[in-house]
Amino acid sequence: MVISPIHYIFVPLVAAFAIPLLSKLNKELPRIIPGIVLFYNIIISFVLMQEVNEVGYISEVIAGWRAPIGINLIITPFSGFLVSLISVLGFLIWLYGFRFKKVIDDGELRSYNILQMMMITGAIGIIITGDIFNLFVFLEIVAITAVSLTSFYRGRDGAEAGFKYLLIGGFASAMILLAILILYTQVGTLNMAEIAERMHTVPTEIKSTILILFIVGFGIEAELFPLNGWAPDAYSQAPGPTSTAFAGIVVKAGVYGLIRIIFTLFDIEGAYDFLIIAGLITMIIAEAAALKQTNLKRMLAYSSIGQMGLALIAFGIGTKEAVFAAMFLLLNHAIIKSLLFMTGSILMYNSKEKTISSLHGIAKRLPFISILFAIGAFAIVGLPPFSGFWSKLYILSAAADKEMIFLIVTILAVSVIEIIYYFRVVSKLYFAEGTTNVEVYKPKINAKISMLILGIAIFVIGFYPDLVTGYLHNAADILLDKASYIQYVLNTDSTIQ
Amino acid sequence: MKQVFIIILLIIIGYFLANTFVEIPFGGNRIGNVESNETVAGYYLSNTAKKTGVANVITAIVVNYRGLDTLGEVTVLFLATTGLASILYRRKEEEEDTERLNLPSSRIMRSGVRVLFPAIVLLGIYVFIHGHLTPGGGFQGGTIVATGFLLMLISYKGFNTDHNRMVWIESLAGLSFVGIGIWGLLSGNTFLENTTNIGVVNSLISGGLIPIIYIVVGFKVAVELTGILDILLKIKPKK
Amino acid sequence: MQEQFNEIFIKYHEIITIGVYGTAIALMLIGLYAILMKKNLVKIVIGLTILDAGIHLLFVGIGYIQNGTAPIFSPGYENSADRMVDPVPQALVLTAIIIGFAVTAVALSLVIRLYKHHNTAKIDQIKHLKW
């Protein structure tokens, strides 16, 4: 059996269906199986990335019917890179989350692991599918798992956050369904490559309507303003490993869906300007809100939303340099934000109200965690020599190329705001008066290894950005090359190239 | 005030939608010439009977052409059941305190349900076994079976579904579905490909793997929906 | 029978169109109204269901082709491939209905938990999480 993209889907599925049975044999199995699956994901990513590097595209036919009659899975350099990143992050999050909660019931353990693993699988599915209705189905997988995980803890306001998320998410799905409906009547197909080919036959008014519906639908998952009201609640109420997965994995899938639709399916000029404006508004409002927060995880959530706004601005600028910079930002943000959420969740574990002020002086008791949090904070605001510096630099230079002075000024101003609220936390960690009798959550070695790996990655990319820039430049070129995508999907007859 | 604002907003949205749908004539022929393969629908209609041996084109689409969607959907149901169980999870101590809601059921209902229950389940099983010949299929049949169970759950407080057995059926059915897909991969073809003999159209044994997949799905859906109903009905009555 | 229906269809085409599309759009708007305006959690969930129902109805509606018959090759209809309605929206809506059901199930379980926790089902009394 050759390794192909479908492995990303069916291996976790087999595990998910088998866990209820296997857990009868051994109570610890639900903890271990996702680790094996997610590690296998890393192996497949390795193999597939080699292939995509040589060939350019991998398109796999499902059920023996070539696209557009059947569904196909497709890996491009951009999606391949994202999925590999998600696989690695998924495994690290599992490693971090192994025995995260001290006391947990068997049934809860089973549900938690199944849901967490399938959420990651759903995100991967969104990215590798080549069919727009299939995209909707995977989006629903992500929505349902994410809502259930948000409401996992019993005591806090998880149920409220989950309900809000579900409501807004349900509305988003309805919008996307409506868009697919109208699109189908116009082009007669559901395959993304064929839709891209036939898009020019659709009358402009209808095109705009469909685009608006898609933007509303995906914007909710990609946390665009004003559709991101659910995010701060969900991020702060979910368990630590889950919020990390939200920030590092789920939101990337939402952004990818939005970008794939705008770049490949549509050809409207105004869409790019819209991305810039929407990204700008999102970033400004989110970062301003982050300033006011007293709850650490909410602050991190708003910061995440702001960074995604920045990524959308970069995608909206549309040049090869800008798209490359946006991809670089996604890579860095995934690593850095995951680290911040991991360390943040540990710092907050024993605090009742989860406020920043409860962190005073903890650096002395948890030096390892605090230094990693500080590294993450420095990296995300863009200080050299950390990785975040490069992505911000490239975005600013792409904006300068197109002489968008307003953008440069705004991004710099927002960076200053970021510095203020992150340094506030770091100073509380290190320089405030500490209390010695507060209970502190000491993480185990597996969590420490995960966080250390992420921290090292931040340093390595910071010092040697060329490790990834070449690859990402290629990915950016291919994203903008719509014609070859269409040609590759529709003209291949065999299964895997 | 808010109400007025929202009503105006809805009227605007309704106006835009109506405008869009004026362009989409009802009953207009959008699949073109069926033989020419311009649209996927045309291809499905002209080729299903020959290539898959299945009489119900929609079943062929759902199970074969777009089988990955159905797999995803079965997964969604499974995850919803898991999510439900995790949201309404009760620790062992609380498990004894909860009992099913005491819903009033009359004598007529109870005696009627005793007769109807086997008939409904039989109808459901019939629907999903014949999914490739008549309208219906796994999802529809499974839902019918679950409706039968719902009637029993409402009428008889003592009626208990065997939780253990349901978990077994659910997991085995799910594994079979993915297993059929993997079988496609192992035999050198693509995932979920219909690799067995197609048989004669319109007979019960036709369509290769398609009716088998649908039967598996039917069982899974029936068990899952019953499980969901069971969980939702078993909430602690307010003291 | 078929010809009579066809005559009626052509004559009253506009009315039937408004009937089908109009009902679907009306359902969507009613569902939206319920989600936005109602205070009771259960009614909000019902609103989401109604919104979904409207969209599903729309799906089936756009699949209809004039004079078309069901896309099943029953005995006697083996060669009527060119007179069948569009099967794709029906297949899609099958999936969409199940997904809508799953979402409703999860939503209702959350409502149950919220009710147990706060002892009320009114949304304005459950707004703990603010800016």
pLDDT in tens, C80-116: 777 788 889 999 999 999 999 999 999 999 998 888 8
Residue B91: burial class (beta carbons within 10 Å; 0-12, 13-18, 19+): exposed
For residue B83, the distance in angstroms to the closest alpha carbon of chain C comes to 7
* Whether the model pTM is above 0.80: yes
The residue among A389, A347, A352 whose CA lies nearest residue A368 is: A347
Chain mean position to CA A266: 23
User: What per-residue confidence (pLDDT) applies to B94?
Assistant: 64
Q: Within a domain: residue C130?
A: no
User: What per-residue confidence (pLDDT) applies to A493?
Assistant: 43
What's the number of domains chain C is made of?
Answer: 1
8 A C-beta contact, residue A70 and residue B65: yes
Tell me the pLDDT tens digit for each residue of C30-85: 999 999 888 888 999 999 999 999 999 999 988 888 777 888 887 777 777 777 88
Asked if A92 reaches chain C (Cβ–Cβ under 8 Å), the answer is no
Which parts of A188-269 fold into alpha helices (H)?
Answer: 192-198, 204-221, 230-237, 240-245, 251-260
Q: Provide φ and ψ at B122, rounded to 5°.
A: -65, -40
Which of C48, C96, C126 faces A167 most closely, judged by CB atoms?
C48
CATH of the domain at C23: 1.10.287.3510
8 A C-beta contact, residue A243 and residue A146: no
**Residue A482, SS3 per DSSP:** helix
What's the number of domains chain B is made of?
Answer: 1
Chains in touch with C (3+ beta-carbon pairs under 8 Å) read: A, B
* CB proximity under 8 Å: A 200-239 to C: 233, 236-237
Q: Provide φ and ψ at C69, rounded to 5°.
A: -120, 170
Which of C55, C106, C117 faces A174 most closely, judged by CB atoms?
C55
Domain of B204 in residue numbering reads as 2-237
Domain of C53 in residue numbering reads as 2-125
Pairing of strands A58-61, A72-75: antiparallel
User: What per-residue confidence (pLDDT) applies to C103?
Assistant: 95
Asked if C33 reaches chain B (Cβ–Cβ under 8 Å), the answer is yes
The ipTM assigned to this model is 0.91
User: What per-residue confidence (pLDDT) applies to B69?
Assistant: 92
Question: In Å, what is the CA distance from A118 to each residue of A38, A103, A137, A313?
Answer: 11, 23, 13, 30
Give, for all 239 residues of chain B, the pLDDT tens digit: 788 888 998 899 888 888 888 877 777 777 766 666 677 888 888 888 777 778 888 988 898 889 899 999 999 999 999 999 888 877 666 665 666 776 777 888 888 988 999 999 999 999 988 888 888 888 999 999 999 999 888 888 777 778 888 889 999 999 999 998 888 888 777 777 776 666 666 667 777 788 888 999 999 999 999 999 888 887 765 54
User: What per-residue confidence (pLDDT) applies to A115?
Assistant: 93
Asked if C99 reaches chain A (Cβ–Cβ under 8 Å), the answer is yes
Q: Within a domain: residue C93?
A: yes
User: What per-residue confidence (pLDDT) applies to A494?
Assistant: 38
User: What per-residue confidence (pLDDT) applies to B219?
Assistant: 92
Tell me the pLDDT tens digit for each residue of A393-412: 888 888 888 878 888 888 88
Asked if C74 reaches chain B (Cβ–Cβ under 8 Å), the answer is yes
Residue A435 Ramachandran class (φ > 0 left, ψ -120 to 50 alpha, else beta): beta
User: What per-residue confidence (pLDDT) applies to A23?
Assistant: 84
User: Among all residues of chain B, which has the CA nearest to that of C32?
Assistant: B10
Proportion of chain C in helix, strand, coil states, percent, rounded to 5:
75, 5, 20
User: What per-residue confidence (pLDDT) applies to A425?
Assistant: 84
Which residue positions in chain A have pLDDT lower than 50? 493-497
B144/C77 Cα distance (integer angstroms):
28
Tell me the pLDDT tens digit for each residue of A213-247: 998 888 888 888 777 788 888 888 888 888 889 98
Under 8 Å CB pairs connecting chains A and B tally to: 162
User: Among all residues of chain A, which has the CA nearest to that of C31?
Assistant: A171
User: What per-residue confidence (pLDDT) applies to C68?
Assistant: 78
Residues in A closer than 8 angstroms to C59, CB to CB, are 177, 181
DSSP string, A157-189: THHHHHHHHHHHHHHHHHHHHHHHHHHHHHHS-
User: What per-residue confidence (pLDDT) applies to C131?
Assistant: 41
Q: Check the CA dihedral A277-A282-A287-A291 and report its sign.
A: positive
